[in-house]
Amino acid sequence: MSQSDGYGGAHLLLAFIAGGLAGAAAALLLAPQSGAETRESLRGWTRDAQGKAVRVPEALRRAYREASEAAKKAFSETFADTGHGSDKG
């Protein structure tokens, strides 16, 4: 019999994101640079993130397509290796 403490993958992901945000906030508050320099850095990071976010959907489609093709090939090879339609056995 298994026992669940009520926490799942979503809770783990949320805790990970919250920890990352807390660490980022601490790094910004304790950074040895001026406010203007920090704001400029944030603008640069935002521009980079926006540029990368635009490419994510196409990358996901490509990854899905490649994984699907690999799975079909593996399934076909596995089915052929089971001996169906041949004298293997």
Q: How far is Cα 23 from Cα 21, in angstroms, rounded to an integer?
A: 5
Q: What is the mean pLDDT of the segment spanning 20-40?
A: 84
Mean pLDDT computed over 36-54: 84
Domain boundaries of the chain, sorted by first residue = 35-82
pLDDT digits (tens, 9 = 90+) for 54-81: 888 888 888 889 999 998 888 888 877 7
Rounded to the nearest 5°, which phi and psi values hold at 2? -100, 155
Whole-model pTM?
Answer: 0.36
